[in-house]
Structure 1
């Protein structure tokens, strides 16, 4: 597995003029793996957009990427600031993780629910309120190999959520262009907080395969900083 990142050159409007919707970012990511097209093999490429603040308080926006295969560094740098593209093996970090380890986390996801119609799975709807979005995450925590820890580091065994231990740091509805000149808006929510690994194998699977829907469009990537 590989973990990659590149700082997007938003100060160069000519360079990034194509990045107007989620599909453009998806295409950028997919073209970093042209050998997969040649081999007729497609693996999952988890990615998200992240805003990182430097020591001076200035904000920089990055594309983060987790992939089974090593991306083409030149393709990854296409919309990035010169020399900012980095690719490294994710395996040493995954091997470092241990059962019971605590960490700060960040997750960008697409909290949704489906309405059953006539016994069949119906239309998918986004969760709108912050309470609904937090409950969505809480219902998936233990099944994803972790539980939440309060800021006082007291484990919440039932993975129940409240705003004291998990924060929603951003919410928006980015545009995705689809075939037939259709456009849809996807619900994108970023969460931050503290967690504890409860099932190491399941948790590693969550890190490399993501959590929730719309993974191809920048959702589902969970990252952590161990304490």
Structure 2
């Protein structure tokens, strides 16, 4: 397994085209692997290519991806990077082996995490209708999707609770006494983005079928590892739906202790 980072040059027309189309960016990511064909489908329990866009600043967009094979992102550098600055030692992206990190994961360890996901649920208006997959639209329900106890167990982690002194409301409740998990857990949700695009078109460029609609949100928080093997599967296989379109990639970072006051 490998973890890669690519900084996108947002001033280039090719970059703007990729950023405007999750389908085009997915195709570009998959083209980084010469042994993968567009018709290939990953096995259900096998590691897969996952990717995510992060935007730490207005003009800074980073593409992260995990993959079973080492990528060659030369074409991305040519389309959306700085090709004139590329050298053999610095080709325009950074890749490092992921397995040593995965092997060090230990039950009880605490980590910061980030996840862009497509939180959905199944609904139907009456018993005679088939169920329909629908996105969660409010931050409270989006958090509830990730806080689901069975989901956390399958994924191998537990989202940490805030210490009582860090909660805005006592015991994480609203002033009406209604449970409010948003203030109880070390978890925030933001950057909600509705994506709509055509998955397929005819030879003459006309739309074929209905457009694909995906709502993505980004979760940031802190977790405790409960099952290292399950978490390794989560980190290499992803969480939830729409993994081909920039969802499902969970990444971890060390928790930095707060700075001590100097007296």
1:155-211 Cα offsets, whole Å, 9 max, x none, are: xxxxx9424521013111022322242423211010001100001100111011010
Cα contact 1:8–1:62 (8 A) shared by 2: yes
How many pairs align?
Answer: 216
Q: Report 1:12-161 matches (<5 A).
A: 12-13=12-13, 15-19=14-18, 20-37=20-37, 42-43=41-42, 44-53=48-57, 60-82=60-82, 83=86, 84-115=92-123, 122-139=131-148, 140-152=151-163, 161=181
Cα contact 1:144–1:203 (8 A) shared by 2: yes
CA distance in 1, matches of 2:120, 2:195: 15
CA distance in 1, matches of 2:192, 2:75: 29
CA distance in 2, matches of 1:17, 1:226: 32
Q: Which runs of 5+ in 1 are unaligned?
A: 155-159
Q: CA deviation at 1:59?
A: 5.0
CA distance in 2, matches of 1:148, 1:193: 7
Q: TM-score, normalised by structure 1?
A: 0.85
Cα contact 1:76–1:85 (8 A) shared by 2: no
Q: Relative to structure 1, is the Cα distance of residues 80 and 220 closer, same or farther in structure 2, using a 3 angstrom cutoff?
A: same
Cα contact 2:190–2:219 (8 A) shared by 1: yes
Cα contact 2:8–2:63 (8 A) shared by 1: yes
Q: CA deviation at 1:109?
A: 0.2
**Any idea what SS the aligned residue of 1:75 has?**
helix
CA distance in 1, matches of 2:194, 2:132: 18
Aligned match of 2:258: none
CA distance in 2, matches of 1:211, 1:35: 24
Aligned match of 1:162: 182
Q: TM-score, normalised by structure 2?
A: 0.74
CA distance in 1, matches of 2:66, 2:60: 19
Cα contact 2:12–2:80 (8 A) shared by 1: no
Q: 1:199 aligns with which of 216, 224, 227?
A: 227
Q: CA deviation at 1:75?
A: 3.1
Higher strand share: 1
RMSD over aligned Cα, in angstroms? 2.5
Cα contact 1:36–1:42 (8 A) shared by 2: no
